[in-house]
Structure formats: C-alpha cells, structure tokens
Chains A and B, each alone.
Chain A
C-alpha cells in the first residue's frame, strides 16, 4: 500500500472525519488467520451500528473467500469506508452491472453473509422511488472509483497474484470496482429485494416431480391409502392428497410422482417426502430420487390500474392482449423466461419459473414498465 499514498491522502480529505482503521497490514503475502479475524471483527463492528446481525459464519475464513475483505482492509481503510456510502447510492445500478468477473466461490459465499445482504437490502429500501435521485450519485461514484481503482490495482497486484486475471478487467469497469470494494453484493440475494414499495410476489403454487424408483401397484395403493383416488379408465395414476402441506400428488405405476399445490420449495419437498413415506409404508421400496421443481407460480398486486392497450402497443413482440378471450395481457418475458399475466386491476401473475429468483427478477423488470402505463 505504500505505493499509493497520493490518492489515499486526497481521499482522507474528502472523507472528512472517519474513524481510522488499524494501519494497513503488510502487503506482501497472505494475512494470517488471526489478522484476518481481527480485521473482520473490526469491520463488522462498524457495521454493527447499522445492522444487529451476528457476524458471518465460519465459511468466511476460507482464505479464498474474503476477496472483498482483503480489499477492504488492505487498501486504505478510509478508501474502503468511503466507498460504502457511494455504494449505497449506486446500489440500484447493480442490476445492470456485470458481476461475472467475481470468482464463483466468492459469490457463493456471499450468499451466506447475512450482514452483506441485509445492508444491500437497507440500501435498496432507503432508495427513493424516482430514478432521478440516482443521477447525482454517479458523479460521486466517479470520484471515489477513480481513487478506488488505483488503490485496488495496487493492492491486487500484491496480494493476489493468482487472481490477477479477474482483477485486470476491473479497472475498465468502474462499476465493478465499486462492487468489489464494497461488502460483496450477492448475485442472488437470499431475501427478496424489490425495487420500491416493497412489493414482493408471493408464491402460490409449485409443481415438482420426483422419482420413487420402483414399480408401483396402483390398485394396492388406492385400496390401502387414505385420500387416494384411482380410476384406471379415466387416468392411469393415483391421485393422493395430504392436508399438511396442502398438496395433491399424481402417482404413476412407473414410480414417478408429480406433486402440486405447495406454496414454497421446502413445502413441496416435504410434501413429496410425505407421499413417498406413504408409499413406503405400504410395502414398496420407495426412494427419493431426482426431486426437481418444474414450475413455480407467483402473484402480486402493484396497486394501481394499468392501461393494457398502451402496453400491448409498445411491447408488441412480447405481449398479446385479446380481451374477448382472456381479460389479462399475456407478457412473455425473454430474460428471465417467465410468462406474466397482467390485469387491468393491477394484479400480476408470474408463471414458468424454475427458481424463486426468476420470479423476483421478472417482477422487478416489469414493475417500471407497468408504472409507465399507470392509469391515473
């Protein structure tokens, strides 16, 4: 860090009065475990004022992981700390930023850091609704980033010879720099973060399949199991229902099973296990292979009426609206591949997702578009 005193000094002036970190560690070689812990604790103590969360769990102390930690502590602590307020303002831009340069382990571990994700949340929630508020921030961001990137590149070249590949592109992407400096932002937040008003789509139905991996005698199952119906002339599967979680299952003689009606992934898995247990108790050597969620349906309400005629005109290639056929507009989003049913009342149904994050992402994509067609 001795090689970049200039920008740090300027930053100190800019930063105003900030608490000083302990002096930067030796730049050559990796930090020892104790030193890592110390810096981690210190950093977390500073965050403790904002969040009342426990420090991250042990996976963090994996030497590969605290990429961001190294950067935070190794570079000028003022720089690190100063970047945070800037990051807060630019947090809204994260969706457009390419995070691919971050190594995979980091992004995965990031998910385990509740500290980081909650900070991300508070940043998002405190953001004001109008996009104009973000305009002043890029200028601040540029100042901070210009300095950050220089100190970053210095620290990077010394600390992480192995990571230079990932580091090299960072000066070209100032946005990414701010992210790497920042407490690492998770690529898929653990908790849903909505753009504004805190509207979060609720999951309504989950369809999953599992392979019980044994041939089943449907007649025997239908006779001995409670809440089972079997009509071989109509359909070649047993329809079984359980009350908790309230779900329905279609069990086929090949051993494959479809489970519908659950309201969360865990519930769907639990219900599927319960059905498998029932089959097991009836004497079949049922296993639980290849549990996979096939479809997730979510719904929410934007709470204002939407002018669908305008939407179908401007987004022709994605939407179809035939009110004589169906009262809602069918919007086929390409990324993520989700189908949305948008109604005049403001209710939105999202379907076709394989993961929860796809639903949240799709809603975040559509919300600004819908606001543009708000019917006063």
Chain B
C-alpha cells in the first residue's frame, strides 16, 4: 500500500523522457542536507535516493505548470512572477519565500558595502540592483492582489512556526555537539541547491525545455527544492515519532517535533530496544509522510480538485 504511493512518482519520472537514467545524482548532498535539517549523523542512502526522487518529480511538475502559466502570458522565459503565481494559494509558504527573497537582497546590500571591489562592481552594473527581488515580488503581488490579503503579508510580522520549530531543533542538536562536530554541522547547513547551480539546472533538464527559467526564477526553484527537503524531513520526523509507542503516555501524540530528538536521546534505548537502529530516517517514514500529506482529510475532501489536477501535492507550495 505504501509502495503504490511511490510508484506513480517513479513511473512519472521515467515517462517524462528521462530514461537515460539520472546520471546526475544529488544523493550525497541530500544526505548532508538531511543531517543539517534534523536527521541522524549519517542519513541512509536509500532515504536520500527516495527524497531525491520526490524532490525531482515535484520540481519537474512545478516547472511544467510554471511554463504553462508563462505561455498563457505570452512570455518567453519563466520568471519569478510565474512561480509566485503558482504559490498564491498557500500564504504561509509564500510568506516564507518572500522573507527569503528579502534576506537575499539585504545580504547582497551589506556584503557590497564591505568590499570595495563589490562596491565598484555594483556601481558599474547600475544601481537598480538594490532590492530587486523585493521590487519584483511587490510589483507582482500588487498586480494580482484582489482582496488585499497578499499585500498584507508584507507587513505581517507573525512568527513562522515551522521555521521556529526548525530553529529550535537545530539549536537542540547543536547544543550537545563538540566543536569539531559543530564545524561539520555548519558545513552541511551551508549546502544548498543554489550553490550547485549548474548541476541543479542539468538535474532538472532545463535545457530541453522550450521555456526556460531566468536567473531569479532559478534561485527560487533552488530555494523551493531545499524547502521540499526540509518539509520532508520535518514530516518524516513526526511520522517516526508517531510510530514509537510509548505505553502509558497519553499525550505522546501531542509532543511537537522539536521534542523528538531530545526525547530519544534522553530515554535510553534499552527501554524500547527497537530504537537501536532507527536514528536515521527510513524510506518508509518518508513514504508515509507523503501519503498523509496528499491525503486531504475533511468532509469535502472527495470533492476538492485543487490538488487532484496535478495528481500531486506539492510540499513546497
């Protein structure tokens, strides 16, 4: 039953013409990324391969939808506006993306002020680079916003709970490390798809598409890929926690994901001997997480077609 969830994805992959076999594999990078997001010290290779599969499929689908949108507009490149348009339904994730774009702008502004060579470069290329992503986002959301709720997001200062949980988990993870381990952890955290931009492009096979994404759109796609991995790890950790039965603890299902690692390390493995090897996330956790995520629960779920359209629930948007 679990496998049926995975197989349509793998058939989709092979049927989309990529049967040269994915010579480009991000499995090792994904293993590091999963470690930095909360997985065990050495995540399993099978899990990484499965995660890669999931992320790849979701991104390809996303790209195809974005291409359709830009075709509707009559444009020749996939722009960040198309991706923002696809994400308009989920406010929280959209807000996270916007925050990411602003931080990117801010960081380039600061780094520019520090190095005088950067300053010259920037002056030479024209000073319209400052806050360009912010401007793009603001202009676009301005144009599609009918009810004003999208624009309200710019002033919104609510705490992003998911991000908060991730930060707490990382903090807990790093507290018990020594400096050598911590240095390694920091290196893993710095890995991202945007660092390996060309490999990422080839992995998505952008060259064979008629409508290609531009630079900023590629940045956003790299970010969405990372978000997908992060979401998968979050959900898999929750699933794993659910699978552990703690007899006599009525509130075990209500403990948040941040408590998982803490709880596991505090409790000795002798108490529940099954846990000995389950430090790393297993593929079954990932599959269960996806199954639950795609399964809309609620009285009207059989009648909603929002996600059925693509046959897939996007984790990142």
Could you say which of B103, B106, B186, B191 contacts A344, with CB atoms under 8 Å apart? Answer: B186
Could you say which of A239, A248, A260, A309 contacts B170, with CB atoms under 8 Å apart? Answer: A309
Interchain CB contact under 8 A, A248 and B120: yes
- A293-330 vs B, CB cutoff 8 Å, 1 = contact: the mask equals 00101000000010111101100000010111111001
User: Which residues, 233 to 263 on A, are CB-close (under 8 Å) to B?
Assistant: 234-235, 237, 239, 248, 250, 260-261
Interchain CB contact under 8 A, A376 and B178: yes
User: Which residues, 320 to 376 on A, are CB-close (under 8 Å) to B?
Assistant: 320, 322-327, 330, 339, 341, 344, 349, 351-352, 375-376
Interchain CB contact under 8 A, A322 and B100: yes
Interchain CB contact under 8 A, B186 and A325: no
Could you say which of A205, A250, A326 contacts B123, with CB atoms under 8 Å apart? Answer: A250
Given contacts A324-B192, A341-B110, contact A305 B104 (CB under 8 A): no
Of the listed stretches B48-56, B81-89, B111-119, B269-277, chain A binds B111-119
Interchain CB contact under 8 A, A310 and B175: yes
Could you say which of B104, B177, B186 contacts A323, with CB atoms under 8 Å apart? Answer: B186
Nearest Cβ distance between residue A168 and chain B, in whole angstroms?
43
A376 to B186, CA, bound (A): 15
Nearest Cβ distance between residue B166 and chain A, in whole angstroms?
10
Interchain CB contact under 8 A, A313 and B192: no
Given contacts A305-B182, A310-B175, contact A324 B110 (CB under 8 A): no
Verify if B205 is at the interface (C-beta below 8 Å from A).
no
Verify if B226 is at the interface (C-beta below 8 Å from A).
yes
Interface size on B, residues (CB 8 A): 36
Complex contacts, A324 vs chain B, CB 8 Å: 189-192, 194-195, 226
- A205-224 vs B, CB cutoff 8 Å, 1 = contact: the mask equals 10100000000000000000
Verify if B183 is at the interface (C-beta below 8 Å from A).
yes
A305 to B179, CA, bound (A): 7
Interchain CB contact under 8 A, B182 and A261: no
Interchain CB contact under 8 A, B107 and A313: no
Nearest Cβ distance between residue A111 and chain B, in whole angstroms?
29
User: Which residues, 116 to 155 on B, are CB-close (under 8 Å) to A?
Assistant: 116, 119-120, 123-124
Could you say which of A308, A322, A351, A376 contacts B113, with CB atoms under 8 Å apart? Answer: A351
A295 to B111, CA, bound (A): 13
Verify if B171 is at the interface (C-beta below 8 Å from A).
yes
Complex contacts, A325 vs chain B, CB 8 Å: 100, 103-104, 107, 192, 194
Verify if B168 is at the interface (C-beta below 8 Å from A).
yes
- B163-198 vs A, CB cutoff 8 Å, 1 = contact: the mask equals 000011011011101110011001001111011000
Given contacts A248-B120, A312-B167, A375-B182, contact A323 B190 (CB under 8 A): yes
Q: Determine the residue in chain A with the shortest Cβ distance to B159.
A: A316
A312 to B164, CA, bound (A): 10
Complex contacts, B113 vs chain A, CB 8 Å: 207, 295, 297, 351-352
Interchain CB contact under 8 A, A260 and B119: yes
Q: Determine the residue in chain B with the shortest Cβ distance to A308.
A: B186
Given contacts A324-B189, A325-B103, contact A205 B114 (CB under 8 A): yes
Nearest Cβ distance between residue A85 and chain B, in whole angstroms?
41
Interchain CB contact under 8 A, B110 and A339: yes
Interface residues of B (CB under 8 A from A): 36, 100, 103-104, 106-107, 110-111, 113-116, 119-120, 123-124, 167-168, 170-171, 173-175, 177-179, 182-183, 186, 189-192, 194-195, 226
Name 10 A/B residue pairs within 8 A (Cβ), A-sorted. A239-B120, A248-B116, A307-B175, A309-B171, A312-B167, A313-B167, A322-B107, A323-B186, A324-B226, A330-B106
In the A-B complex, list the 10 residue pairs whose CB atoms are closest, starting with the nearest.
Answer: A324-B192, A323-B189, A260-B116, A309-B171, A309-B170, A323-B190, A235-B124, A309-B174, A261-B116, A344-B186
